[in-house]
Amino acid sequence: MRLYFSLTIALFAFAPRPCSAQATANSQNTTVLDTIYANDTKNVALFFPEPIRQGITGSENFVFTFNREKEQHLGLLQAKRGKESNLLVINKNGAIFSYIVKYKEKLSKLNYFISDANSIGNENRSFDSISEENEIPKVPLSRQQYFGRFCSYLLNQKPNIPLRRNRNDGVVLRLENIVFDKEELYFVIEIKNKSSMDYDLDFLNLSVETRQKGKRKSLQSIYKEPLHKHRLPSKIKEGTAERLVYVLPKFSMSDERRVVLELNEKNGERDIKLKIPHRMINNPN
């Protein structure tokens, strides 16, 4: 499973400190661990002090997998040859761990035993700014407030290579990422207007299409209402791009279904449909 997006110091309410990991399960010596190396022929095992709740890498050539169904402390990292990236892991208790990850053909280390001291902080403070560090703790966020904060967090990350894209007459619709957090799926979307005319948005809908079997093949489409729409624009001016996030309840699909993002222009014909296969929904970041 692919995973993660980069962290910035401003997003966390503190500066990260160097982190370390044990060389072996029984070793008492620790070493500075800024970078983890991986390749495509071996699994690099990371053992965390608490069960893993979420793990994400910032590039498609790195894959971090863990058991989503049964709580486990173990995560496995693999990499394909390419540029370096980063890995962020959040434990069940909210502890955050962040590393640089690089491809290396020959690995000298395959197991990392990570302690609580390696954590750079806790997600309960991950949306605070540096200026708020000494303020009185705030009341817990409501569900909609959390959606808004997490969506802003996703949009602050450097865009990845899009998962899917389609265009029509200079207007490009891109699905940048699908991120799973708690019980929701976050669809990170970009609409880019490369034309010489403003694009007035009528609607951007997400629906699930089912292919009906039989002699008369047909498609049944069911609209899925987002729990939250973050920064949905009404207009994309010429030569500009807008990024937004749709939040939906977690769902999975069979191979007979697919998700369709449908972008419609108000008083125009530059409409776009983006088809998303079931495997991307069933394997989010």
> Which pair of tokens denotes residue 38?
């991986």
The enclosing H or E element of 148 equals helix 143-155
Give pLDDT tens digits for 178-220: 999 989 999 999 999 999 999 999 999 999 998 766 556 667 8
The enclosing H or E element of 155 equals helix 143-155
Mean pLDDT across 99-108: 93
Mean pLDDT across 222-228: 94
Domain map of the chain by residue range? 20-138, 164-282
pLDDT of residue 8: 36
The enclosing H or E element of 279 equals helix 278-282
Beta bridge mates, 46: 75, 112
Q: Is the pLDDT of residue 105 over 50?
A: yes
pLDDT of residue 124: 65
d(CA 138, CA 53): 24
The domain 164-282 is classified under which CATH number: 2.60.40.1150, 3.40.640.10, 3.40.50.140, 2.60.120.650? 2.60.40.1150
pLDDT of residue 230: 95
- For residues 161 and 199, is the Cβ–Cβ distance under 8 A? no
Does 20-138 match 164-282 in CATH topology? yes
Q: Is the pLDDT of residue 135 over 50?
A: no
Give pLDDT tens digits for 243-252: 999 999 999 9
pLDDT of residue 14: 36
The enclosing H or E element of 280 equals helix 278-282
Q: pLDDT class for 267, splitting at 50, 70, 90?
A: very high
pLDDT of residue 262: 97
Mean pLDDT across 104-115: 92
d(CA 214, CA 236): 42
CATH class, 20-138 region? mainly beta
pLDDT of residue 10: 35
